[in-house]
Chain A
Amino acid sequence: EVQLVESGGGLVQPGGSLRLSCAASGFTFSNYWLSWVRQAPGKGLEWVGNMKEDGSYTNYVDSVKGRFSISRDNPKSSLYLQMNSLRAEDTAVYYCARDGVGGYFDLWGQGTLVTVSS
């Protein structure tokens, strides 16, 4: 089955760190750009960042630049999101998503909830 499965969410204090993981299966992971997209409770969707197939390039939305870092391990078919200096406004469900040609998202994980609160 073609799928993405996120893990690693939880409760973290402001200023803390968390690392999310996304495990892929059912497709050739190394052939695709992958993205992280988040959704604050009751709100819309926000693209966070993405990484090229070979890991040589990343791109981030301004609000997370310098705090979040995306990495991948192609042999393990896994994508990661390292989140540092977390703020209350980073509270959201974080989705791993596969990039289609040009930048739409044709496959989504089920999401993992990150709550930043003291």
Chain B
Amino acid sequence: ETVLTQFPGTLSLSPGERATLSCRASQSVRSRYFAWYQQKPGQAPRLLIYGVSSRATGIPDRFSGSGSGTDFTLTISRLEPEDFAVYYCQQYGNSPRTFGQGTKVEIK
């Protein structure tokens, strides 16, 4: 199983700041099959990024994804108030599909 480790566990930032979230895989992820999700309290996760860097429908361009192999990054260029949430990475190139443990982006 491919273990995904997200860091930091918590990111304390102010609105307008840049957020950089990282995810490291225990083995190389096949075929750029990597995604990011946002989850707010009491809600289902929402797809942000798939295929490492493709934004899902309706996702603003302040969200961007990058990376390859075992190291992946989600960047939020300027945090808006609605962006404070928990973010999960997911790989779907290796079986079984796995998620990271999450990074909480909180208001500083």
Contact = CB atoms under 8 A, between A and B. Distances in A.
A102 B33 contact: yes
A2 B96 CA distance: 27
A56 B91 CA distance: 24
B101 interface: yes
Interface stretch (B19-27, B42-50, B66-74, B75-83): B42-50
A111 B44 CA distance: 7
21 contacts: A45-B37, A45-B45, A45-B90, A45-B99, A46-B99, A47-B96, A47-B98, A62-B96, A95-B44, A100-B50, A102-B31, A102-B50, A102-B51, A102-B93, A103-B92, A104-B90, A104-B92, A105-B90, A106-B50, A108-B45, A110-B43
Nearest to A95: B44
Contacts of A47: 96-99
Interface of B: 31, 33, 35, 37, 43-47, 50-51, 56, 88, 90, 92-93, 95-102
Contacts of B45: 45, 95, 105, 108
Report whether over half of chain B's contact residues are helix, strand or loop; otherwise say mixed: loop
A44 interface: yes
Contacts, number: 56
Contacts of A45: 37, 45, 88, 90, 99
Interface of A: 44-47, 59, 61-62, 95, 100, 102-111
B97 to A, nearest CB: 5
Given A44-B99, A108-B46, 17 more contacts: A44-B101, A45-B90, A46-B99, A47-B96, A47-B97, A47-B98, A59-B96, A61-B96, A102-B50, A102-B92, A104-B51, A105-B35, A105-B90, A107-B47, A108-B45, A109-B44, A110-B44
Contacts of A102: 31, 33, 50-51, 92-93
Contacts of A104: 33, 35, 47, 50-51, 90, 92
Contacts of B31: 102
Contacts of A59: 95-96
Most buried by A among B43, B44, B90: B44
